[in-house]
Chain A
């Protein structure tokens, strides 16, 4: 085997090894990144849920009525007839 052929074979082997190592490292890095993205998606989903539930809290009729009373708009015919001025319940 000539020196040149030996060098080529060793070079090819080294390149293959390097490629394998790089691919393996890249796979691990991407897996890790995917894991982080999963976590991020979970956090964002969580934020979405929190916002949905906060919206539900703000749509609570008691809060809406409190706001209506704050604006001095009586909304109930019974309240109107009775001149009800007490603060709305929670």
Chain B
């Protein structure tokens, strides 16, 4: 009888529990013996043009807690917080106030020491509500190299700048998840295949950047910025035959793994923001004299002027209506090619008068100024070409000398490449392709994209040979001469416009130099710009030309480009350049050719 009573009472109790707390207890039991784990997708790598890793992903341990499983919040918090360097009271508060949640981060990306200490505490004190999860961490093995190109990611591994941002959708992939039965220590015991959705790893992005060229570019640019105490500097190296950007450097640089200091004040945040600007694509400025070749070459192409045509300068100053144009030297008469090589502003004023505003506007637009280039980097500025209705009589003399117009470095080097590839404007490219996690090609962007033919090939060859080469042989660009190769280019020294657009800042200049080599078949084009150098010198020929030449020399040797000058012709010789070594494709023969020619010049 007693047994029957006990059985009935037990059954009644069970029924009562089932009716009042059944669903809650079932949910609790479900939570205790199952775990839904996010399986994070692997973010894709960023590789240089030869497959070297520039950005990759590692997994680092992070700690989270399931507050609903914590029995004694005070005990748990005071056990865990000290080994992680956290405040126990704050942690206890978090656990208490978020009881309804199954997931709260305790600390992310633990160090090896913290992980070891925590595991020991968890083992000793049976803190099964605390769980380690492996979280992805972005790693940049080359440190600050190409930081402005790569960009960086935030705490949730989303790209916030550079390629990381512009190709985030490709790189990120998609997380998977797994529902598992777990034991009392939250170790996975059983997973059903139906409850597993695998992650889709992100694709890798292959850039056109070459780390060796990039490193030399940054090295030379950093030295120049330091020597001339410039606010900032930028340098670009481009393959002019295809539009591929081989190097893009901005100084000062930043560490993409740690772009903003922890807990920054307003000043530090502003400084970090300025450092992170990719000025090669985001900042435009008046180009100054490096703009002259773009106007002259178009006027030549249309037969308006001729390279041997004499221009009466009668400098160093000359009035054009109400405006006075200055030259740095007092020239009497210059042939047109000398107007370029000696960078005569008065000569360019005369060219502007011959062309007229309508043609000048067309020339400027033909080279792509005023339009974004379409390079796959975020924040590209289109530069500034004023609407034609706003051009005035001043524009006729201003535009030919690179004033009243603003251009970004990527626009300038892209336009300059037209002089290197016989007249075609290519779209600059920095992404070469996208490869899947298994190495398969998902997208191929390696083919050059021609925007338009800007100049006739004969015009380009003549202009390059007679005007741009002369700049380096006997003109303003002499400091850019290098052994073994005939460099051609153009210097520029531009005043910095006031922020309100009224006039120029006193004593503030941008010194630039754009160049290419070899002159017979250019393989590399380089642009160097230093913004507001403050160590005395500011002319482009002084602050930028030697740096551009150093970058060019390193690039050509690295690319195994055969030398161009003969033994009896120095780099600044006036004789016509002849090619001593037949052009060959890259390979062992080229290496021998380089060595042999270097030997010849050394012997001489």
Chain A interface residues (CB < 8 Å from chain B): 28, 31-32, 35, 38, 42, 46, 49-50, 52-54, 56-57, 59-62, 65, 76-78, 81, 88-90
Contacts and interface: CB of A to CB of B under 8 A. Distances in A.
Given A56-B141, A56-B142, A60-B141, A28 B56 contact: no
Contacts of A56: 52-54, 56, 141-142
Interface in B473-522: 482-484
Given A31-B190, A61-B212, A89-B222, A77 B483 contact: yes
A78 B483 CA distance: 9
Given A56-B52, A62-B215, A46 B59 contact: yes
B450 interface: no
9 contacts: A35-B189, A52-B53, A52-B56, A61-B145, A61-B216, A62-B142, A76-B554, A77-B598, A89-B218
Nearest 8 interchain pairs by C-beta = A56-B141, A61-B215, A56-B53, A57-B141, A35-B188, A78-B550, A31-B190, A60-B142
A53 B553 contact: no
Contacts of B134: 42, 46
Contacts of A38: 188
A75 to B, nearest CB: 9
Contact of B553 (A42, A49, A62, A78): A78
Secondary structure class of chain B's binding surface, majority of residues? mixed
A76 B191 CA distance: 58
B12 interface: no
A49 B56 contact: yes
Contacts of A53: 53, 56, 58, 139, 141
Nearest to B182: A35
B211 interface: yes
Secondary structure class of chain A's binding surface, majority of residues? helix
A3 B53 CA distance: 78
Given A38-B188, A50-B58, A89-B218, 11 more contacts: A46-B134, A53-B56, A54-B141, A56-B53, A57-B142, A60-B142, A60-B211, A60-B215, A61-B145, A78-B549, A78-B550
B52 A59 contact: yes
A31 B56 contact: no
A61 B58 CA distance: 22
B326 interface: no
Contacts of B187: 32, 35
B57 interface: yes
B219 interface: yes
B554 A78 contact: yes
A50 B56 CA distance: 9
A81 B483 contact: yes
A49 B180 CA distance: 26
Interface residues of B, number: 36
B557 interface: yes
B309 to A, nearest CB: 38
B82 interface: no
Interface in B527-570: 549-550, 553-554, 557
B22 interface: no
Contacts of A65: 215
Contact of A90 (B59, B139, B143, B483): B143
A48 to B, nearest CB: 11
Nearest to A63: B142
A59 B219 CA distance: 17
B190 A28 contact: yes
A59 to B, nearest CB: 6
Contacts of A90: 143
A66 to B, nearest CB: 11
A49 B57 CA distance: 8
Interface string B30-74: 000000000000000000000011101111000000000000000
Contacts of A62: 142-143, 145, 215
Contacts of A76: 216, 553-554, 557
Most chain B CB within 10 A, of A49, A56, A57, A76, is at A56
Given A46-B58, A77-B557, A61 B211 contact: yes
Interface string B196-234: 000000000000000110111011001000000000000
A69 B186 CA distance: 53
Nearest to B556: A77
Given A59-B52, A62-B145, A62-B215, A49 B554 contact: no
B43 to A, nearest CB: 11
A56 to B, nearest CB: 4
Nearest to B549: A78
Contacts of A28: 189-190
Nearest to A46: B59
A89 B219 contact: yes
B37 to A, nearest CB: 11
B547 to A, nearest CB: 10
A15 B496 CA distance: 94
A50 to B, nearest CB: 6
B544 to A, nearest CB: 15
Contacts of B59: 46, 49
A7 B598 CA distance: 101
Nearest to B56: A53
A38 B178 CA distance: 13
B553 A77 contact: yes
A36 to B, nearest CB: 9
A28 B549 CA distance: 70
A45 to B, nearest CB: 9
Contacts of A35: 180, 187-189, 191
Contacts of A59: 52, 141, 211
A81 B143 CA distance: 29
A53 B554 CA distance: 27
A78 B481 CA distance: 11
Contacts of A54: 141
